[in-house]
């Protein structure tokens, strides 16, 4: 999670919302680490989770990431949660909850439906305060600048 937080800080330096993600293989090797790149790439789908899933799939030359684990600084939205399911990721560890945009504990609750074909194990609240502080600072600074 420390590496995911580092990616969140790097994202902030690029002017992105500070969210980071890290994908680890079933043998514990780091496959991909990235943050949001929505503004940079002009791509509404370039969330940190999507970026590492796409990178890792390319590296492994496999559209299924069986046995891989994902670390994220914020609860994934419905897009990222469904991508996690489609990629067959084994475990998801995330830091802060996201009552406004989350798709795991809130809103769409993507993993909670009988039609969700693959449900990862979910572990939340890891370094949540640190992740949340990054986001709060970012939005406070943004409001001040407006």
Determine which residue in the list 8, 17, 74, 83 makes contact with a second copy, applying CB under 8 A: 83
d(CA 25, CA 87) in angstroms, rounded, equals 13
Element (H, E) at 20: strand 20-24
Minimum CB separation of residue 14 from a second copy in Å reads: 14
Nearer to a second copy, 39 or 133 (CB): 39
**Which residue out of 6, 49, 63, 146 is catalytically annotated?**
49
Query: For residue 67, what are the contacts with CB-CB under 8 A and spacing of at least 6?
Result: 25, 26, 90
The residues that bridge with 33 in the sheet, in sequence order, are: 22
Residues 88-117 that bind a second copy (CB under 8 A): 88, 99-103, 106-110, 113-117
Integer angstrom CA distances of residue 68 from 14, 38, 63, 78, 81: 28, 24, 12, 19, 15
Residues 5-44 that bind a second copy (CB under 8 A): 38-39, 41-44
50 binding a second copy? (CB under 8 A): yes
d(CA 41, CA 48) in angstroms, rounded, equals 12
74 binding a second copy? (CB under 8 A): no
Q: Look up 146 and say whether it is catalytic.
A: no
Nearer to a second copy, 82 or 130 (CB): 82
The pairing of strands 69-74 and 91-96 is parallel
Binding site for a second copy (CB under 8 A): 38-39, 41-46, 50, 53-54, 57-58, 60-65, 77-83, 86-88, 99-103, 106-110, 113-117
């Amino acid at each position: 999670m420390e590496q995911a937080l580092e990616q969140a800080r790097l994202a902030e330096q690029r002017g992105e919302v500070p969210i980071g993600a890290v994908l680890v293989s079933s043998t514990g090797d780091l496959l991909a680490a990235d943050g949001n790149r929505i503004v940079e790439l002009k791509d509404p789908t370039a969330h940190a989770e999507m970026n590492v899933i796409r990178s890792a799939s390319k590296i492994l030359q496999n559209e299924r990431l069986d046995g891989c684990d994902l670390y994220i600084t914020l609860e994934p939205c419905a897009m990222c949660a469904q991508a996690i399911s489609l990629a067959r990721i084994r475990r998801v560890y995330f830091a802060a909850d996201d009552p406004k945009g989350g798709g795991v504990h809130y809103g769409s609750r993507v993993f909670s439906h009988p039609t969700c074909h693959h449900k990862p194990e979910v572990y939340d609240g890891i370094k949540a305060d640190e992740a949340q502080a990054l986001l709060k600072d970012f939005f406070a600074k943004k409001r001040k600048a407006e």
